[in-house]
Structure 1
Amino acid sequence: MNRPELDYYAVLDMPRSASKEQLTLAYRRLAVRLCPHRDKKYEQDFVPLAQEGKLTHLSPMSEIKQWAYINMAFDVLGHDLYRAIYDRYGEAGLFEGVMLPNGYFPPYQYHGDHMKVYEAVFASYSPYANLIDAVTNPPSLFATREHGIGVRHKDTNTERIIHLSLEEVRTGCVKLMHVWRQEIVDIKESRLEKRKHTLKLNIQPGTTAGTRYCFKEEGDRYPTTIPGDIIFIAADKPHPVFERRNMHDLVYRYNITLCQAFTGFIFFVQTLDKRQLKIVVTDVVTPGYQKIVPCEGLPKCRNLDAVSAIKHANKRFEDFGDLIIEFNYIFPKYLTPEMKAMTRQFFTEFQKHEQALEAQEKEHLS
């Protein structure tokens, strides 16, 4: 869009740091003076803005144009998502549409009903408000030679499972999802054709199973209905080495012998991002023992809403789950009589040594 952009904050005569409550009060102050439907007998109660010293760059315009501008400005700035997109991408991004972390945001279009904005702020503007809305904003209709005239109803949503490997979850990725949908291919809306359509999924690092990516009204196009949404639901793909636990922790299982369990050992683990971790175990590995390596799990996905995701788009969060190592014992399948005798002797000496240590501790305490 190669045109100067409108400063919605300047329209309401407020700074960009203004809170939503401050913007609402600014709109109310302007709207009670500029609303063309106010009762004429109350005009004398309002001091003209020019006499208040509140002149803005809209002041040279007629009150009708100023009325239109303040309603459009508040329709954007009074909506958290619209405001976040406007603050980050400007009016061009708002009108052209942008790709957000949770799906595509379609181009914004002001509905043009100034009194609808006024009513949302002041609660009501007329006892006939609902009737007027039905006339000024009628439901979406269709008119075809085959089906006549009727109200468009939205089709059911389409849900699909998208399987993600733990490597993709660890680093994040972009998925191009190809879907086939019915599309209208002529002006008369009488001929349909199945065509391939590509949707772009931005998978954030640490995305959890069950995360939903919604593409609004990207389903089949029919003359008599509103397209349904296409929703992709993330699911974990089984991994040959690791298992996800507690959303962001990774579990790794390592086989050890009884000798290793008693005497300690060293081994290496290859992480999802191809690094080698050196694991040193000096403790006796008893049943249920776990070795926890902090911050070597999956990144913690913050699952921000669209507004927060835009505000934190350039921030990098280094927050990870843990790597939990569990051990499986490998028992010998066969022992010779000599090996059994040596094992009995070992445990006999081991018990004598333990008893001697316990006796020394009691003497020391007494």
Structure 2
Amino acid sequence: MGVDYYNILKVNRNASEDDLKKAYKRLAMIWHPDKNPAGKRPEAESKFKQISEAYDVLSDPTKRQIYDLYGEEALKSGQFPPPSTSHYYHHRTNNNTTSFQFNPRDADDIYAEIFGSESGAGGGGGRGYRDGFFRTSNGAGGPEFAGTSSGPGPGLRKAHAVENTLACSLEELYKGFKKKMKISRTVTDSAGKVRILEEILTIEIKPGWKKGTKITFPEKGNQEPGFIPADLVFVVDEKPHALYKRDGNDLVVNQEITLLEALTGKTLDLTTLDGRNLVIPLTDIIKPGAEMVAQNEGMPISKEPGRKGNLRIKFDVKYPSRLTTEQKSDLKRVLGGVSL
């Protein structure tokens, strides 16, 4: 028999489709690589693949029948005696054996199908991947992607690429992050049957990436008869920030200070995009429209790891709306001898 798929999933040989799904969900939640620390990840990846393969075989009537009758080796080699009433197998060979091609499904596709079909039910699997859900259609009926042209491949035309805006906060673009996106796309099998496939893509945003940066997943869009599947493209966009504006690799902040502070000084307290407290003393006289530069406190430069742009502080000096006669007299007395 070789590998015991029933034992891997911890189900009996009469397990129903529902039994298999419940067993898979329980074990996938334990052994999915993303749910394990880095030191345990190699073991988790191996276990996760075993669980996925077991579910793939036992949940497919054809694969399960071959496995039950002839075992793992026959299933994977595709060579075994034909049952007298079989209608499952691809073709018979001249030496009275039946040839079957074993095509295992991708573990991540199975995971996306099981948890995605239940909108996050059954434990953290769905919740962990609900950051985004996109259909890759670009036709009528609510397109969530705008089509862009793509060149044709040899022999087949390639469908237009589909694009979606990926809105990122300035903090996310500063620190970088990974985002799980669940997509739903149509695929056409060799028999011409169209089905909807759900899967999870991991989008990795590098620190310092700019608005307009494109992340392309080749041929992850819809597949139509006679066409190569479309590329799926995510385009980085930048959400407005309450304090900072980005100018290339620099960050710009506008700071309003009073005339008194401009003349006598003060200390600025700024919170950086990675949560640090930045203390900047103002000791010189600040003139209206002046700009101060804090070196290496801007955005990371994606092509030069370790380097950052600058933080530019632009000052707006707020003047008093009126002065009393006594205040004017005091200012003349204090500033009368000051050279400008």
Please tell me the residue identity of whatever aligns with 1:228: A
Task: Give the C-alpha shift of residue 201 in structure 1.
Answer: 1.4
SS in 2 for 1:255: strand
Is there any run of 5+ residues in structure 2 with no aligned partner, and where?
1-105, 107-152
Counterpart CA distance in 2 for 1:188 and 1:352 is 93
What is residue 22 of structure 1 aligned with on the other side? none
Counterpart CA distance in 1 for 2:190 and 2:233 is 29
SS in 2 for 1:353: coil
Task: Give the C-alpha shift of residue 193 in structure 1.
Answer: 2.4
Indicate yes or no: 2:204 matched with 1:202: yes
Indicate yes or no: 2:318 matched with 1:330: yes
Question: Which residue, out of 132, 153, 177, partners 1:173?
Answer: 177
Is there any run of 5+ residues in structure 1 with no aligned partner, and where?
1-95, 97-138, 141-150, 304-316, 359-366
What is residue 161 of structure 2 aligned with on the other side? 157
Query: In the TM superposition, what are the counterparts of 1:341-356 in structure 2 within 5 Å?
Result: 341-350=325-334, 352-354=336-338
Counterpart CA distance in 2 for 1:288 and 1:233 is 35
Task: Give the C-alpha shift of residue 340 in structure 1.
Answer: 2.1
What is residue 195 of structure 2 aligned with on the other side? 193
Would the aligned equivalents of 2:175 and 2:207 in 1 still touch at CA under 8 Å? Answer: yes
Identify, as 1 or 2, the structure richer in helix: 1
What is residue 241 of structure 2 aligned with on the other side? 239
1:312-352 C-alpha deviation (Å, 9 max, x unpaired): xxxxx21011111122333445x4xxx42133224433553
Counterpart CA distance in 2 for 1:263 and 1:298 is 31
Query: In the TM superposition, what are the counterparts of 1:108-127 in structure 2 within 5 Å?
Result: none
SS in 1 for 2:337: helix
Please tell me the residue identity of whatever aligns with 1:323: L
Counterpart CA distance in 1 for 2:336 and 2:218 is 74
Larger relative contact order, structure 1 or 2 (CA cutoff 8 Å, min sep 6): 1
SS in 2 for 1:169: helix
Give 1 or 2 for the bigger CA radius of gyration: 1
Would the aligned equivalents of 2:287 and 2:317 in 1 still touch at CA under 8 Å? Answer: no
What is residue 306 of structure 2 aligned with on the other side? 318
Counterpart CA distance in 2 for 1:223 and 1:201 is 28
Task: Give the C-alpha shift of residue 204 in structure 1.
Answer: 0.8
Aligned length: 189
1:104-142 C-alpha deviation (Å, 9 max, x unpaired): xxxxxxxxxxxxxxxxxxxxxxxxxxxxxxxxxxx86xx
1:43-97 C-alpha deviation (Å, 9 max, x unpaired): xxxxxxxxxxxxxxxxxxxxxxxxxxxxxxxxxxxxxxxxxxxxxxxxxxxxx9x
Please tell me the residue identity of whatever aligns with 1:220: N
Indicate yes or no: 2:294 matched with 1:284: no
Query: For the aligned residues, what is the CA RMSD?
Result: 2.3
What is residue 260 of structure 2 aligned with on the other side? 259
Moved over 4 A (4+): none
**TM (normalized to structure 2)?**
0.51
How many percent of aligned residue pairs carry the same amino acid? 30
Counterpart CA distance in 2 for 1:340 and 1:198 is 68
